[in-house]
């Protein structure tokens, strides 16, 4: 168990809908990272928050947004969902700010868009 908690584990929703994925980082970690894993694109970095502020941005679509709250938990909001958004979404956390440090992954949320 990495200590990173993601909810829900599974989510099935229809095209056009909006969902929110939640992540609680390991105790003491200040950084939260969001990743998308799909068969065709592999594992891709979406966005990072550090101590409440957006710090780095990867291949995140404009329909997607995230935030980190004062208690350091984070939410990833996916809107106007398309079939191609079906994927595993992982959250990771670390104490340090950079992407070039050890990070601990949660078990993921499997999103299915039908």
Footprint of another protein on this chain (CB under 8 A)? 2, 4, 42-45, 55-56, 58, 90, 92, 97-108
Q: Which is nearer to another protein, 95 or 105 (CB)?
A: 105
CB of 57 to another protein, least distance (A): 8
Q: Tell me whether residue 77 or residue 101 sits nearer to another protein (CB atom).
A: 101
Which C-beta is closer to another protein: that of 17 or that of 53?
A: 53
Q: How far is the CB of 28 from another protein (least distance, A)?
A: 17
Cα separations (Å) of 97 from 48, 50, 52? 9, 6, 11
Q: Residue 36 Cβ, how far from another protein at the closest point, in Å? A: 11
3-state helix vs strand vs coil in the chain, percent to 5: 5, 55, 45
Which SS3 state, helix, strand or coil, does residue 73 take?
coil
Among residues 98, 99, 106, 101, which one has the least CA distance to residue 76? 106
């Amino acid at each position: 168990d990495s200590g990173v908690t993601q909810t829900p584990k599974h989510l099935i929703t229809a095209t056009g809908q909006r969902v929110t994925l939640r992540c609680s980082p390991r105790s003491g970690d200040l950084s939260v990272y969001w990743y998308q894993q799909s068969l065709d694109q592999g594992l891709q970095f979406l966005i990072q928050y550090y101590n409440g502020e957006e710090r780095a941005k990867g291949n995140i679509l404009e329909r997607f947004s995230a935030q980190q709250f004062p208690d350091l938990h984070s939410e990833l909001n996916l809107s106007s969902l398309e079939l191609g958004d079906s994927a595993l979404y992982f959250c990771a956390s670390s104490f340090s700010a950079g992407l070039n440090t050890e990070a601990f992954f949660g078990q993921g949320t499997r999103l299915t868009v039908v």
